[in-house]
Amino acid sequence: KNEVEQSPQNLTAQEGEFITINCSYSVGISALHWLQQHPGGGIVSLFMLSSGKKKHGRLIATINIQEKHSSLHITASHPRDSAVYICAVPPNTGNQFYFGTGTSLTVIP
Amino acid sequence: DVKVTQSSRYLVKRTGEKVFLECVQDMDHENMFWYRQDPGLGLRLIYFSYDVKMKEKGDIPEGYSVSREKKERFSLILESASTNQTSMYLCASSYRGEPRHYGYTFGSGTRLTVV
């Protein structure tokens, strides 16, 4: 049973394309995190959001708590955006996260 | 710059060896976690600790043990390494009761190959 589902699992895009990664979850939460992992590297946090939309540069994250769904968008994608993007949800009880399996993004010049 | 440091980036061990993976954090976090990451399976929790000398099993503890003698250090031990333990191992830490607000801080990972 997966508490967090991400799609797609793999994504290849041409430089400049608009990219969307989706995350659906089944547990009750008050916030959701989007994480980024570059090849061979550790994991860093991109966004934490509990409602609406957040924007950081070319990255936009949206969430609908009622529908239990979040999306991560990348505008004007660039090869340096190539990474694994992971959706993480901390349930309202407990100290642990549930993680999606990740979306591996490759942006081709 | 606060950080979680894992002692090795790459490690190659032989089947049957006892393997120690070390993780140190300098943020005075109470919670520490060990995950393994495999393609298509994502991050799976092996063990976690809420305090010194405390440990809890995660989803896949078989073949692993942990030690937390000091607050800043959390060690993962493979008692007798096997080839199916070849994986990326990630350590993380957080304040107690705060992950849903502040999230985890992750180490850079240790890619372990068992031959």
User: A66-90, pLDDT tens digit by residue?
Assistant: 899 999 999 999 999 999 999 998 8
What does the pLDDT look like over B48-92, one tens digit per residue? 999 999 999 999 999 999 999 999 999 999 999 999 999 999 999
B10 contacts chain A (CB < 8 A): no
What's the whole-number average pLDDT of chain A? 91
Which of A5, A43, A99 to substitute to test the interface with B, most B CBs within 10 Å?
A43
DSSP states of A38-69: -TTS-EEEEEEESSEEEEETTEEEEEETTTTE
Tell me, yes or no, if A59 comes closer than 8 A to chain B by beta carbon.
Answer: no
Contact A29/B at CB under 8 A: yes
Contacts of B46 in chain A (CB under 8 A): none
pLDDT of residue A97: 85
pLDDT of residue A54: 94
Output the CA–CA distances (angstroms, integers) from residue B51 to A43, B74, B94, in the order listed. 23, 10, 11
Å between A78 CA and nearest CA of chain B? 23
d(CA B69, CA B54): 9
How many angstroms separate the CA of residue B30 from the nearest CA in chain A? 11
pLDDT of residue B96: 76
**pLDDT at A68 (0 to 100):** 92
Confidence of residue B46 (pLDDT cuts 50, 70, 90): very high
B50 at the A interface (CB within 8 A)?
yes
Q: What is the mean pLDDT of residues A3-13?
A: 94
